[in-house]
Structure formats: structure tokens, C-alpha cells
A and B are shown apart, each in its own frame.
Chain A
Amino acid sequence: GAGVSQSPSNKVTEKGKDVELRCDPISGHTALYWYRQSLGQGLEFLIYFQGNSAPDKSGLPSDRFSAERTGGSVSTLTIQRTQQEDSAVYLCASTSGRVGPNTGELFFGEGSRLTVL
């Protein structure tokens, strides 16, 4: 597709279960970000992938959170042993990764809304 695609769009899970959220970035975009947006809050940076470089994991809130990006394209964010405070919208964004006109323009998906009961 033309834009960033995320799935599932909605996920309801029970406390303690593991969840996987998927992001399919725009074709050719080398940089990929995950953000978390809690109700009424701003965008909390989680993790950033750029090409083959080691990911910037500095925003991951705990070791229950992990992400991988296979083949430099699709990314999966995994949350293990989910807690109620993990409930939020998880947004993925991609960008060309090149410095130049419109540097900083991230293209966001519609997000995956996670509800932990």
C-alpha cells in the first residue's frame, strides 16, 4: 500500500498475556519508529530503527517491551506479560532516513489500540 500499515487496529487482551503489534512501513523507507500514545497524552518515543544500524531502544519502558525489524522492512513490537498500564495506542511511523528537504517528516500509521483488561 501507499501508506504505513499497522495491525491489528484494535486488540483487547487479558493482563499477563503477550501481544504482538505489526507495522508495515512505506516501501523504501529505511527509518522506522514506534511511539506510544496514552489517552489524552502526547507521543512517547519507544524505539527507532535506521537501516542496518543498531536500533535506538532508549524509549522502551521496561524489559517486557521489545521490537524487531526483519529484512529492513516489517517491524513487530512485542509486549510480554501485559499490564493494564500498557493500554494505549501504539503508533508506527516511517521516513526515508535521508537528510534533506522535509527532514523530520514522519509518515504515521493509524495506530494499534491496545486494551489490557
Chain B
Amino acid sequence: GQQLNQSPQSMFIQEGEDVSMNCTSSSIFNTWLWYKQDPGEGPVLLIALYKAGELTSNGRLTAQFGITRKDSFLNISASIPSDVGIYFCAGMNYGGSQGNLIFGKGTKLSVKP
């Protein structure tokens, strides 16, 4: 079945640093989504992308839908402590069963000791 490879698995951030993570797929999607999960909470949608090549920003977050439709990246600029958490990419092909929403394994952001 379809799989998403999300990297890095984890990273440490220092306040003010820019952060970048990405997701690749073995097959195409027509929707890419990025979620964030805080400890003890369920994931919350950050950005949704519906068109190949689309670049979308949400505050300090920027995400792009790869032109091949097999990848997406998320950048966080000027990170702050509340950015820590787990970030998940997800791919979906709407028009069919909406159950076909596949999640990556997550990128865990922690604060540098």
C-alpha cells in the first residue's frame, strides 16, 4: 500500500532557528496536509495543499506541494519554544474514499538542551 516517508524523525531546535522537514511518497496524492500534535492532545491541522506546486503560508509556517505530487515540505521560520511537538504529514486522494488519508510517522521537535 501507499507509504509516506517523513524526515527527519526528530530534531532539536534553538529559539530563532529555522526548521525544515519533508515527506515523500511512492505514489501520487492530490492533497497534502500537515498536522501538529502537542503532548496529550490530538493532532491539529496546520496547512492543507490541494494543487501541485502550491506554496502556502500560515504565519511562520510555509508548506509546498511538490510538482511531482509525491512530496511536500514544511518550513518553520524563527522557531519559538511553543513550536515543540510532533509534526505529521498526510496525503490523500479525494474524490474516492476519504478514508484514504495516509499519515507519515512524524517529526518530533524538541528544544536543544
Contacts and interface: CB of A to CB of B under 8 A. Distances in A.
Interface of A: 4, 31, 33, 35, 40-43, 45, 48, 50, 56, 58, 91, 93, 95, 97, 99, 102-106, 108-111
A95 B33 contact: no
A25 to B, nearest CB: 12
Nearest to A42: B105
B12 interface: no
Interface of B is mostly: strand
A95 B94 CA distance: 13
A41 B44 contact: no
B42 A4 contact: yes
Nearest to B106: A42
B103 A42 contact: yes
Contacts of A42: 6, 88, 103-106
Contact of A102 (B45, B88, B108): B45
Interface of B: 6, 31, 33, 35, 40-45, 48, 50, 88, 90, 92, 94-95, 97-99, 101-106, 108
Interface of A is mostly: loop
A48 B31 contact: no
A112 B50 CA distance: 31
A109 B37 CA distance: 11
A104 B104 CA distance: 14
Contacts of A91: 42-43
Contacts of B102: 45
Given A4-B42, A93-B42, A99-B94, A104 B106 contact: no
B29 to A, nearest CB: 10
A95 B31 CA distance: 15
18 contacts: A33-B99, A33-B101, A41-B105, A42-B105, A43-B106, A45-B99, A50-B97, A50-B98, A91-B42, A91-B43, A93-B42, A99-B94, A99-B98, A104-B101, A105-B48, A106-B43, A108-B41, A110-B40
